Structure 1
Amino acid sequence: MTRFIVLTFGFLGWGYYEMSGGADFVPEVAEVEIVEPAEVVVAQAVEPEVVVEPEAEIVARAETETLMTLAASYEPQPAAEPEPEIVEVVSEVALQDMRTVSGARVNMRSGPGTDYSVLDTLPLGTEAEVLEVNADGWARVLIFQTGQEGWMAERLLSDS
């Protein structure tokens, strides 16, 4: 096996040698142009002279004085505050029946009974508003966190 590998590499080397031109191979010579570094000339910055024409100076001073006079005479007008609207607020908090879920994982259903599909499973402590309670002990509730409305057993709700 070792002889086969050595012979294979020898044959491949000989093939490469012959395909590249063999003994007649002459590498191409590329001409390289040598560029001398250019001299660096540092120019000094010259600040331009500012020439103020007397006429322009007089106009600028007059504009500044006019603006200062206008600014001194300016009296800001108080913002007109809208008259407060009298709104009658009805305390709905007292009318709401707020309760919390007292079971660890309580099913909220689409209707009053276990025959209805489960809409969501609520964890312990979820706040809900009881909208109505039927005679069979099922409460229709509104969950504030999700905005969902559904039914659950009233016995699984405790007063907040």
Structure 2
Amino acid sequence: MEILEATSSHWPQIYPFFARIVAAGETYAYPEGLGSTEAAELWMERPPGRTAVAVSGGRVLGSAKMGPNRPGRGAHIATAAFMVDPEASGRGVGRALGVHVVEWARAAGYVGMQFNAVVETNTAAVHLWQALGFRIMTTIPGAFRHATRGLVGLHVMYQKL
């Protein structure tokens, strides 16, 4: 598996799993029913951020977007978001993207990385981020409307780089 900078040529492979994950209503608060163009505007970062893809055999298995968490005086803290094609789950794609993003943020000079909204019921992601050095700083109760579990919390997670 290779981690590459995403280009517009990767988007046709990203969008189907992006749409599937958003429609499932379990991990992302993006609006439902986004068309490809609207979704690409949300996912494909522009500098100083970037979007990466995990690719194996020419197939995009997952993607991550990263960049400054806030503009201006908050731009020294990075953030990121991740999506793994459900058909590629359990193959280490999320971990590879997570390691890549942390290394990218360190190399880019960020002093920390903050995840603003990790759904507390997404235990696989929570465990992965903790294994990669992130801590749960707080949980906002009922901040996410889960498709099957109703209102659940969102963790704010952080790692000093």
Normalising TM by the smaller chain, what interval? under 0.3
The structure with more radius of gyration: 1
Kindly indicate which of the two structures has a greater share of residues assigned to strand: 2
Task: Give the TM-score normalised by the residue count of structure 2.
Answer: 0.21
Kindly indicate which of the two structures has a greater share of residues assigned to helix: 2
**Structure with bigger RCO (C-alpha 8 Å, 6+ apart):** 2
Task: Give the TM-score normalised by the residue count of structure 1.
Answer: 0.21
